Amino acid sequence: MSAVLDVSDFSVEFRTRSGIVRALDRVAFTVGRGETMALVGESGSGKSVTAYALLGLLDAAGKITQGRAVLEGVDLTAASPGELARIRGKRAAMIFQNPRAALNPIRPIGQQIADVLRRHAGLSKRDAMAGAIDMLRQVGIPDPARRASAYPFELSGGMCQRVMIAIAVATRPALLIADEPTTGLDVTTQAVVMDIVAKLASETGMATILITHDLALAAERSARIAVMHAGHIVEDAATKTLLANPRHPYTRRLLAATPTAAGALSALRSIPGNLPDLRRDDLPPCRFAARCDRRLPGCDAGLVWRDIAPAQRIACWNPT
């Protein structure tokens, strides 16, 4: 499987009044054509920061300090703001967590999709609107010609999320980043939204990064899972392999803290401790070390990747 996105040694920091926050440290992963990779972890682990940094959407306080992120031969970290603006929406797109906040409240939804088609596909105003109506039809919005003139506040949360998907995939991007795309949606609508994403990915060969804290969603919708903790990816494995035999202590703890349909609530176990303060100058090589019951003296020697199985890699000296 050819890699659409190849990320290596990717580090990001934020300059704040209380110090420098080392949000990402040497993050590395690849996503292949037609593949869906889930990026999971606790809130604050760096999942959304990864997405924003890749697409050049960090605020002024954020900075990529090292690494590469190569999208179809183009290093996004070396691209100029103008180049990134041309790539976003055309070759790489994102579904944001809160569609109501991401959509323009004073423009009809059809116009917002047409804007993307006019800018990135070079369509005329008439053809762009026809394309927008067709995209609304593809994402399952009934009576798309009429709905195209609706404003975001006139639509339900599920409908707004479908509009976000239509905007994101209108130009058939090579890479789609779906950042918590089912947040705030009921279970039935969640399934519909994810079915739409999966169908479009299958039809176009689009690589997809699914960012979620929902391990059940990741298990159902991804071929591979990368687990994040405090700005590190600590385990990267095929979904079935990771769920059946998690090897990093954090992954095992994360799964033990996740409710399942078959398990009793009394069986759930919390993850001890808290995420480390990422402003510290003395952050340990393994940022899970202070919370880990398998810590060894060698853990302070440096973070090392180990291939445990053909489809499983971990950053740990003492795997479970």
Task: Pick the closest to residue 109 from 170, 197, 189 (CA basis).
Answer: 170
Torsion angle of C-alpha atoms 68, 69, 75, 77, degrees rounded to 10? -70
Going from the first residue of the chain to its last (320 residues), give the mean pLDDT of each consecutive group of 10, the final group possibly shorter: 91 96 96 95 93 95 97 95 92 91 95 96 95 93 95 92 92 94 81 86 91 91 96 96 94 87 72 90 91 88 85 91
* Structure confidence at residue 160 (pLDDT): 92
Strands 224-229 and 36-40: parallel
pTM: 0.92
* Structure confidence at residue 190 (pLDDT): 82
Task: Pick the closest to residue 7 from 66, 62, 58, 48 (CA basis).
Answer: 66
Could you tell me where the DSSP H helices lie in the chain?
A: 47-54, 81-87, 99-102, 109-120, 125-138, 144-147, 157-169, 187-204, 215-221, 239-244, 249-256
The sign of the torsion formed by the CA atoms of 84, 88, 91, 96 equals positive
* Structure confidence at residue 263 (pLDDT): 66
* Structure confidence at residue 315 (pLDDT): 93
* Structure confidence at residue 264 (pLDDT): 66
* Structure confidence at residue 167 (pLDDT): 94
* Structure confidence at residue 143 (pLDDT): 94
CA–CA gap between residue 1 and residue 23 (Å, rounded): 30
* Structure confidence at residue 261 (pLDDT): 66
* Structure confidence at residue 183 (pLDDT): 78
Q: Is 301 exposed, middle or buried (0-12, 13-18, 19+ CB in 10 A)?
A: exposed
* Structure confidence at residue 27 (pLDDT): 96
* Structure confidence at residue 99 (pLDDT): 87
CA–CA gap between residue 269 and residue 23 (Å, rounded): 27
Q: Which domains does the chain have, with CATH numbers?
A: 3-99+173-315 (3.40.50.300)
Q: What are phi and psi of 296, to 5 degrees?
A: -120, 160
Residue 176 has a CB neighbour count (10 Å cut-off) of: 25
Tell me the DSSP string of 238-280. Answer: EHHHHHHS--SHHHHHHHHTS--SSS-GGG--PPPS----TT-
- Angle CA 285–289–290, to nearest 5: 125
CA–CA gap between residue 156 and residue 193 (Å, rounded): 13
* Structure confidence at residue 301 (pLDDT): 81
